[in-house]
């Protein structure tokens, strides 16, 4: 396993691992249950279609991940359901970020473009 991305929110760590999925880990000391709290599946993972970067929404209700398959995946953290599969880039998506106040997501790609989109 190769760690490719991570982020914190309220005692939980969001991790993208090369060739696997986005996983949420409980990193609090003496966690009362399994450390791996949730797993978010996106595209069909293989050597060329990895989830590369992940990000929490400011309120913790969504997770986004950029992928080598040129899509941004956005999940609902409660249901683990994919809310959006955002196309547009011509290269691997190397970074995703949520706006701190507005329902906007930004993605940056190897195609040297930035895209902003409004989500609900």
CA–CA gap between residue 68 and residue 63 (Å, rounded): 17
CATH number (domain holding residue 63): 2.130.10.10
| 11 domain residue, yes or no | yes
Domain holding 48, by residue range, is 6-118
What total number of domains does the chain contain?
A: 1
Residue 38 lies in a domain: yes
pLDDT at 42: 63
Each as own residue / partner, the long-range contacts of residues 74-77 (CB below 8 Å, 24 or more positions apart, any chain) are: 74/105, 74/119, 75/22, 75/40, 75/42, 77/24, 77/38
Per the domain annotation, does 88 fall within a domain?
yes
In a domain, 113, yes or no: yes
- Residue 80's pLDDT is 84
Question: In this structure, is residue 59 part of a structural domain?
Answer: yes
Q: Does 75 reside within a domain? A: yes
Please answer whether residues 10 and 24 qualify as being in contact, where contact means their C-beta atoms are separated by less than 8 angstroms: no
Residue ranges of the chain with pLDDT lower than 70?
1-21, 27, 31, 42-51
Helices vs strands, H then E, count in the chain? 0, 11
Question: How confident is the model at residue 109, as a pLDDT?
Answer: 92
Q: Is residue 1 part of a domain?
A: no
């Amino acid at each position: 396993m190769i760690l490719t991305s991570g982020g914190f929110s309220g005692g939980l760590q969001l991790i993208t691992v090369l060739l696997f999925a986005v996983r949420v880990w409980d990193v609090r000391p003496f966690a009362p249950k399994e450390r791996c709290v949730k797993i978010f599946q996106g595209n069909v993972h293989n050597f060329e279609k990895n989830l590369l970067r992940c990000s929490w929404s400011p309120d913790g209700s969504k997770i986004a991940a950029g992928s080598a398959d040129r899509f941004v995946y956005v999940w609902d953290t409660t249901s683990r359901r994919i809310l959006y599969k955002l196309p547009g880039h011509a290269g691997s998506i190397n970074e995703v970020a949520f706006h701190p106040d507005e329902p906007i997501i930004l993605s940056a790609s190897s195609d040297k473009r930035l895209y902003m989109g409004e989500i609900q």
